[in-house]
Structures are given as C-alpha cells and as structure tokens.
Structure 1
Amino acid sequence: MATISSLGVGSNLNLADLLSKLQDAESQPLVALQNKAKSYTSKLSAYGTIQSALATLQAAAKKLGDPTLFQSVTGTPTVSGILSASATDASAAGNYTIDVSQLAQAQTVVSAGQVDSKTAIGNGKITIDFGAVTGGTFDAATGKYSGSTFTADASQPTKSITIDPTNNTLEGIRNAINGANAGVTASIVNDGSGTPNRLVLTSTQTGEKSSMRISVDGDASLQNLLNNDPAGTQNLKQTAAAQNAKLNVNGIDITSATNTVKEAIQGATLTLVSTGKTGLSMKENTASAKTAINDFVKAYNSLQSTAKTLTAYDADTKTAAALVGDNTLRTVQTRIRQAIITPQAGGANDMKVLTEIGVSFQRDGTLAVDSDKLDKALANNLKGVANLFSSATGSTAGYGKQIDALVDDVTKGALKVASDGVTATIKELDTQYDAMQVRVDATVDRYRKQFNQLDVLINTLNNTKTYLTQQFDAMSKQSK
C-alpha cells in the first residue's frame, strides 16, 4: 500500500494537528495520574520534614533525660597553673583548700655511653618488671640506691625481650624495647662526649610502683649495659625517681599514682599541673542545663512551625500545603503536647509541671521560657529541675525521657505506617501510569495508521478526479 511521508500532504487536510489534539485528549488520564503522584510525593517529602523536626526534638529531650546533665560541677582555683577540677556529682560543690607538695612522676634511667649506636653490643634476653623501691639511701650524684629494697608490683606484668644478631646494637635494643610494649619508652640521647650515645628508659606509668628492675640473661656486654636492680647491681643511672603525687585537701593528706586524682573530693577529678597552694571553689554548673532546656523549647517550637507550614491553606491561590487535614500529623502533635502538660509523679514538695521552672504554652501553641524564673529554679532547686526531666536508669520518669520515648514510638509507628502507605501508593500510581501509557501509545498509533490510510485514499481520489477532468476536457474539445 502506498504511504504518505507527512500526514495531510496527500489529502491537503490538517491531519497532523488533529492527531496531536487526539493524542492530548487520550493523554488526559496520564496527566491526572501525574498530578496525583505529585501530590503523594509532596506528602512523602512533608513526612520526611516532620521526621527531621522530630529527630531534633528527640535529641534535645534525650539530653535532658540524662541525669548527668544536671550533675556537672565546675571548679575554679584561686591560683592559676596549679590544678584544674571538674565533677559530675553535685555533692562535690563546696570550697576547698588544696596544697600540692609533689607531682606524680615516672622513673627514668640512663645507660653508660656508647661510641656508636650501630655497633653490636651483645645477645641475650632482657626482662623488665616494675615495683616500689623502699628504704636505704639514694645518691643523686651517681643516680644509684644503697641498702634499698625492691618490691615487685604483681598488678604490672613482667615483659621479656629477645636481643639477637638482628637487633643487638644500641638502636636495635631501643627499637626492640619500644616494639615490645613493655611499659617502657626507650630513646637514644647524644651527650656530645667521646662515648656520646646513651640509652634512656622511661616508664610509661607514673607512681612509686613504676620503678624498673631490669635483668639480662646473656652476653656480659649486654648485662653490663642494662642490668639494673635497685636492691642490687645497678648499671643504669636514675635521673628521675618514680613517685606519687602528694597533696593535702582541707587538712587531709592524699597520695595518687597519677596526676589525675579522682575521688579525693567525692565525685570530682583534680588534674595536677604544678606544686603550690590554692583555694578551689566547686559550683554547680547550671549553664549547660539552662541551654539544654532552651534548646528543647526551640526544638518544640520548630516542630510546631514546620507543622503549621505543612498544613497551611492559601485562600488567594486556593492551594493547600501537603499535609492539610492529615490525621497522622495531628495525632503526633496531640500526643506530644499531652505528654508535656501531663504532670510528673512525685512527692508533695517535688516539681511536677514545666510552669514551675518558667516554661509555659502561649496562645499560638508554642512554648516560651521565663528566663528569670528558670534561673531561680536552677539556682535554688537544681535537683528538683533534674527530676522534672530525668531519672535513674530503669525509670521512665521525667519529661526528657518521656518525650524521647514518645518520639521514638511515633517515628517507628504512626509516621512510618503513613510514610510506607504513601510510598506504596506512589509505586501503584507508577504502575498504573506505565500501563496507561502503553494503551495511549497504542490508540494514537492506530489513529496515525487510519489517518495515513485516509490520506492515501483521498490522494488517490484526487488523482482520479484530476485524470477524469482532463479526459472530459479533451473530449469536449474534440466534439467542438
């Protein structure tokens, strides 16, 4: 069958335009499906926005639900540079006089000098253990003990290190000790003398029980370099003694193996920096609690603002936001507000509602904070404020804990069910669209074929008409 390359050419009719209009008409169901899918996509996006706002609220609530937030205590020394202090127990609050007479220190010992750090010394097995040196005397000039006793500390493991031809130089011994994680740090110091290379060993722990005892089973040269028993043969010179920190807190003497002293003041940690005497004021840190409460209020108000935007209706343009009339969002808002206004259980003198600390609802549904009232509550009854928001492990009391659990429930429950339902609807609409597209394409293709046949037919008829007209005209001329 003859075909026409462009619709309408053969018939001189505007068939292409007609086909385009028919295609538009047939595609109207597709447009409707697209618009419907777009509205559901907007709804799904809106649920995501709500979920994000809920996550911010939950994070703020979780922080308030942690009792340690209200137990922070800040220490302020009267003399700087001696110590710093912090606490996570409000019972540490108070004023203290502290005299640091000695800092904790790790032992350091130094070997005799060697001409070359790369020359082989000897082979053997080095054994290092730790303990306390007591009694006797210490000669600072020689760096050695006399008449002392070494008592090993069973809590610190003994470590053995093998020295062989692969590592029997001073550098090799240094590397072997460092690689053994033996509780000792080894280095080489050059003192500029004729035998300048000296092995320096420092215990990785401070405290009087961190003194080293080193024994060597092997070549005499290796023994002569490293054998060191504070109660016997000492081939190493001590340049820093293992010692505890010593301090006095309000007239009570305290010792510590480290310069981080815990529980000298109950619930507090003192970090010693230098010796000296200072006063220390430990005060409850209410600033972090106040910030957390304000952050919670901001997060709640942000959720309300987000919900208002997503449920707005523009009367001028007659357009509705994605969640207008949405029951899921309304349920979430109602449950959270109900939780916030429900009084906490407690004794007769306990705080039970947020208005007692200056947090109250406004006419527009948002929360506002009376800063002065909140400051007063934090200053006069920090424990009461803490109980209003938090509770011990295993308890569900406190607005912080309750809102945290509630958001978790609605996010994994109602909001997830709603989001999953919308997602399923979008997938179903996509399936319907694909099926409808196939039908529309088939219908338009049928129209195109029919129009092509019409075009060919009319073109044929026009050609026949032209031929017959010519024949009749010729016959008429001949008859004349």
Structure 2
Amino acid sequence: MSLISSLGVGSNLDLSGLLDKLAAAESQPLVALQKQQVSYTAKLSAYGTLQNALSTFQAAAKKLADASLFQGAKAVSSATDVLSATASATGAVGNYAIDVTRLAQAQSLAATGVADAKAAVGLGSVTIDFGTISGGTLDPVTGHYSGAAFSPDASRTAQVIVVDSSNNSLEGLRDAINKNTTLGVTASIINDGGASPYRLVLNSPTGETSSLRMAVTGDASLQSLLSHDPSAVQSLQQTTAAANAALTVNGIAVTSSTNTVQDAVQGVTMTLAKTGTSTLTVSRDSASVETAVNAFVSAYNALQSTAAQLTKYDQEKKAGAALVGDSTLRTVQSGIRAALNTPQAGDLKVLSQVGVTFQKDGTIAFDAAKLKTALADDREAVVELFAGTGGNTGYGTQVAALVDAFIGTTGAISNAKAGVNATLKSLDTRYAATEVSVEAKVARYRAQFTQLDLLMSRMNSTTSYLTAQFDAMNASK
C-alpha cells in the first residue's frame, strides 16, 4: 500500500486545512469551558482580595475593642537632658517636680599594673561577692578604705572564678570574669603607659549594695594582685565608689540602685541622665486613641474602595468585574453598614458623637477634634462606645465579631470560596473529558481523510494509466 506523506497530496485537495477547521469547530466546547474557568478563577481571586480587606478592617476594630487602649498614659519631661519617662496604663495623672541630686554609679576597681597582659599571674580561685561599704575613710590617692565595714548583700550569691592554665593571665582573667553572666561584673584591661602598663579594671553593677569583695586562694602572686576587702586587705584601687541614684519627687526623697527609676511616680518609669530638675507631666494618651480610630476609618474606606473595584462595570468593554451582582458581597456591605449605624447602650450612642460620620459616597469621615472633645468630657463613655463595659459590647467588639462571621471557616466568604473551588474542580473534570472526546473525533477525521487521500491517489494513478494506454492505441492505428 502506498503511503501519503502529507494530507491532501494524493487527492490534490486541501484536506489538512479542512481538518484544522473541523478540529477548531469540535474544540468550541473547550473554549467555552476555558472562559468559565477564567471567570471562576477571577471570582475566587476577588473573594481573596475582599477577605484581605475585611481582615484589615477587623484588626482595626479589635484594636478599638481593647479597653486598655483608652487607658494609656504618656509622661513628658520638661528637661529631657535630665530625665526621660514612659507611662503605663496605670500612670497617675498629674504634675511632678523632680530633683535629681545624684546618679547611680558602679564601683570601679583597678589592679596593680603588670608588664605583660599575657604573662602568668598565678593559679587559684577568686570568690567575688557584693555588699555595702559603711563608715571609715577613703584615701583619694590610694583608693583604699581605713576603718570601713563591709556588709554582704544576702540576696546575691557569691561567684567563684577558677584560675587555671587556661586563663592564667590578665587577659585570661578578664575573659573568665566577662563570661560569668550571673556575676554581672565587666572586666577590661587599660594601658596606663607606665613601666608595667597593663591594669585589670573591674566595674560592678550600679548601686551602693554592689561594692565588691574578692577573696583569693592559691598562689601568692594571684592573692597580691586581686585580694580585696574594704574592711581588711585591699590590693585593688577604688577609682569610683558604688552609689545609688538620689532624687526627690514633689519633695519626697527617693533612692534607686539604677538610673532607671520605676514607680516612684505610679505607673511611670524614669530614666535619669544627669543631675538637675525637671517637671514631669503625666496625662492620658489621646493620641493612641486618635490613631486607632483613624486606622479604623481608613480600613473601612479601603474596604469600600475594594468592593467598588470588584463590582465595577466597564461600559466600553461591556464587561463587569468579578463580583458584579454578587450576593455575598452585598451581604457583607449591608451587614457592616447596619452594624455601624446601630445605636449603643451607653451615654454616647452613635459614632457621629466622636467625629465618625458617613458620607454620601458610602465612605466615612473622621473629625479628630470632636474625638478629643469627647475624650476630655467623658473618657469612659468613649470606652463604652467602642470597647463596651459591663454587659454591653461596643462598636469595636461588634464589628470584629461580625467580620469573623464573614471570613471565619464557616463564614459567608469561606462558603462562597468553597463553592467556587467545587465549580472549578467540576470544570476541570469536564474539560479533561471533553478534550479526550475532541481528540478522538479529530483522530477519526484524520483517518477518514487519509483513506480518502489514498483512494483518490489510486484513482488518479488508474486514470493516468488508462489515458496512457488509450493514447498508445490511438497512435498505433
């Protein structure tokens, strides 16, 4: 059997073009299914966009549902170079006269210099504990006390530094002390430029109960370098004494072991920077409330803008966005608007009383000045309006719960997305089955055209043969 290398060659007909047209006609159901898939995929994406906008709006509503937002306080120092301050929700509102007369200090001790920071200093152990130095006299030249007493701080446990072959040098001691994070002492080496320039310097935590006592056992060289007891042998030189911060708050004396002073003013943390005076003003923080309400308004307006884009109709293209006429979106919009227009049970009933008003275009506007006035007049009423009190729920709580009913696992949008996904899965199944059917039909057409081509080729060959025979017979006469 002769073979046809290209469809239509044997018959001299455009069978290949005809087959393409038949294949295109048979594929029309696939084109229709593809259009449906594109439409439902766009709808699924649109629901995702709507869900994201609702999540943002819900987060803003939850912020307003938290009563602690409205109880925040702020602390302002009139002299920030003297002190700065922060206030918690329990901050006591008022003005406070602060006089800082002394900053908290860490004790600083310096060892005798050695010629080589890497040379051995002796083996043994060093027991370091903290306490208070009282009485006696400090020699400003030697940095040694005479007649002083040392009272250990019972609340802290002494720490032992073992000096062995791994750290038997000034550098090794420095590193061993710094590695002991429980101790809280920092060690460094200073080069004073002398004949034996390398001096180990120890700095304790701040506060008068953080003076150091160091008991050394082992080699005499190690003992002579580090043994230090303010009431006895003192090998180290005190260059700075440990001290508490001292200040007055409205004339009342206050001390602190650190320069971070907590609750000298209720709910306020002060950070001292230098000695001097400052007026500390503690007031309720309305700025954070204003920011939260503004975020709520912005999130609502962004939700409205998203909804408008998802339901937009293009007159020129005669085509609508993915959610034109969508009932789920209409339910979401009407539900939220109804919730925001429902009066509350407290002294403040509606959002317009705190400066939040609906506009003709469906958005809401925010008048911050009106909110500030409401907060100044009756802060608790504003709290009840947004967060609720007692058995009442406010707008923040209600809106957050409503949105959860839309975007939760069993919510309207989740159900709508599940329905679209089910439809897309069904379309995939139908497309695959239709594609197999179309391919089978085209294959049959191809086989039939091939047979036709072969038949026509044979007939043409026969015609040519017979014509040649007749011509030969006529020529022989």
TM-score grouping bracket, smaller chain normalisation: over 0.9
Query: In 1, distance between residues paired with 2:333 and 2:393?
Result: 21
Cα distance in 2, alignment partners of residues 286 and 90 from structure 1: 15
The aligned runs of 1:342-381 (5 Å cut-off) are: 342-346=342-346, 350-381=347-378
The equivalent of 1:459 in structure 2 is 457
Output the CA distance in 1 between the equivalents of 2:229 and 2:343: 69
Contact 2:91/2:282 (<8 A) preserved: no
The answer to whether the aligner puts 1:430 opposite 2:428 as a matched pair is yes
- Equivalent AA in structure 2 for residue 450 of structure 1: Q
Determine if contact 1:342/1:353 at 8 Å carries over to the other structure.
yes
How big is the shift at 1:157? Answer: 2.9
Distance 1:344 1:239, change over 3 A: farther
Deviations 1:120-158 (A, max 9, x none): 111111111222223333333322233333232233332
Cα pair 1:97 1:278 within 8 Å, conserved:
yes
- Tell me which moved more, 465-474 or 115-124: 465-474
Q: Secondary structure at the match of 1:160?
A: strand
Contact 2:75/2:268 (8 A) holds in 1: no
1:402 aligns with 2:403: no
Q: 1:391 to 1:228 in 2, by over 3 A?
A: farther
Q: What SS class does the counterpart of residue 338 from structure 1 fall into?
A: helix
Pick closer, same or farther for the CA change 1:39–1:463 going to 2, 3 Å.
Answer: same
Q: For the Cα contact (< 8 Å) 1:89–1:268, is it kept in 2? A: no
Amino acid at match of 1:38: V
Any idea what the Cα deviations from partners look like across 1:356-410, whole Å, max 9, x if unmatched?
A: 1011222332211233322322333334323332368x98833333333433442
What letter is aligned with 2:301? Answer: N
The one of 466, 472, 475 aligned to 2:473 = 475
Tell me what 1:228 maps to: 228
Aligned to 1:297: 297
| CA–CA distance in structure 1, aligned partners of residues 214 and 391 of structure 2 | 54
Q: Is the 8 A contact 2:91 2:268 kept in 1?
A: no
Q: Structure 1 residues 234-243 or 448-457, which shifts more? A: 234-243
Distance 2:231 2:10 in 1: 120
The structure-2 alpha-carbon separation of the partners of 1:327 and 1:271, relative to structure 1 and needing over 3 Å to count, comes to same
State the 1:98 CA deviation: 0.8
For residues 27 and 408 of structure 1, the distance between their equivalents in structure 2, rounded to whole angstroms, comes to 44
Match of 1:337 in 2: 337
1:202 corresponds in structure 2 to 203
Structure 2 alignment gaps of length 5 or more:
none
Distance 2:321 2:336 in 1: 22
Cα separation, 1, equivalents of 2:222 and 2:322:
82
Give the distance between the partners of 2:221 and 2:90, measured in 1 at CA.
59
Matched with 1:450 is 448
Equivalent runs, 1:172-321 vs 2, <5 Å: 172-181=172-181, 182-203=183-204, 205-321=205-321
**Secondary structure of 2:305's aligned partner:** helix
Aligned to 2:393, the other structure's residue is in SS state coil
1:44 aligns with 44
Tell me the TM-score normalised to structure 1 length.
0.92
Find 1:412's aligned residue among 408, 415, 419. Answer: 408
RMSD (Å), alpha carbons = 2.2
Query: Is contact 1:245–1:259 with CA below 8 Å preserved after alignment?
Result: yes
C-alpha separation between the residues in 2 aligned to 1:131 and 1:330?
A: 72
Contact 1:360 1:367 in 2 (8 A): yes
Instruction: Identify unmatched segments of 5+ residues in structure 1.
Output: none
The verdict on how the C-alpha distance between 1:107 and 1:404 changes in structure 2, with shifts beyond 3 A counting, is farther
How far apart are the structure 2 equivalents of 1:63 and 1:269?
25
Match of 1:164 in 2: 164
Q: Please give the alpha-carbon distance, in whole angstroms, between the structure 2 residues aligned to 1:343 and 1:217.
A: 79
1:385 equivalenced with 2:386 (yes/no): no
Residues 252-309 of structure 1, C-alpha deviations (whole Å, 9 max, x = no match): 1111121111111111111111001122233333223212211210110110111122
- TM-aligned CA deviation for residue 446 of structure 1: 1.6
SS in 1 for 2:467: helix
1:312: how far off? 2.5
Inter-partner Cα distance in structure 2 for 1:311 and 1:374: 33
CA distance in 1 between counterparts of 2:366 and 2:286 reads 16
Which amino acid counterpart does residue 376 of structure 1 have in structure 2?
T
Does structure 2 retain, via aligned residues, the 8 Å contact 1:90–1:284?
no
Cα distance in 1 for residues equivalent to 2:201 and 2:56:
54
Corresponding residue number in structure 1 for 2:70: 70
Residue identity matched to 1:404:
A
Comparing 67-76 with 31-40, which one deviates more in the overlay? Answer: 67-76
1:167 counterpart letter in structure 2:
N
How far apart, in 1, do the equivalents of 2:167 and 2:232 lie?
Answer: 27
Paired amino acid for 2:189: I
AA partner of residue 235 (structure 1)? S
Runs of 4 or more off by more than 6 Å in structure 1? none
Residue 88 of structure 1 aligns with an amino acid whose one-letter code is S
Question: What is the CA deviation profile of residues 296-330 of structure 1, one whole-angstrom value per residue up to 9, with x for unaligned ones?
Answer: 10110110111122123334533121112323222
Equivalent residue letter for 2:273: V
- 1:65-99 C-alpha deviation (Å, 9 max, x unpaired): 33443334333333341011221237533222110
Secondary structure of the corresponding residue to residue 92 of structure 1:
coil
Residues of 2 paired with 1:207 and 1:409: CA distance?
A: 56
CA contact (8 A) 2:106 2:206 kept: yes
Pick closer, same or farther for the CA change 1:222–1:343 going to 2, 3 Å.
farther
SS at match of 1:10: coil
Task: Confirm or deny: 8 A CA contact 1:105 1:242 kept in the other structure.
Answer: yes
Residues 130/424 of structure 1: CA separation in 2 closer, same or farther (3 Å cut) = farther
Comparing 71-80 and 457-466, the one that deviates more: 71-80
Q: 1:386 to 1:90 in 2, by over 3 A?
A: farther
Amino acid at match of 1:353: V
CA, structure 1 residues 395+264, in 2 after alignment: closer, same or farther (shift >3 Å)? farther
Q: Answer whether contact 1:3 1:453 (CA < 8 A) is retained.
A: no
* CA distance 1:156–1:115, change in 2 (3 Å): same
Query: Secondary structure of 2:155's match?
Result: coil
What is the CA–CA distance in structure 2 between the aligned matches of 1:143 and 1:59, rounded to whole Å? 61
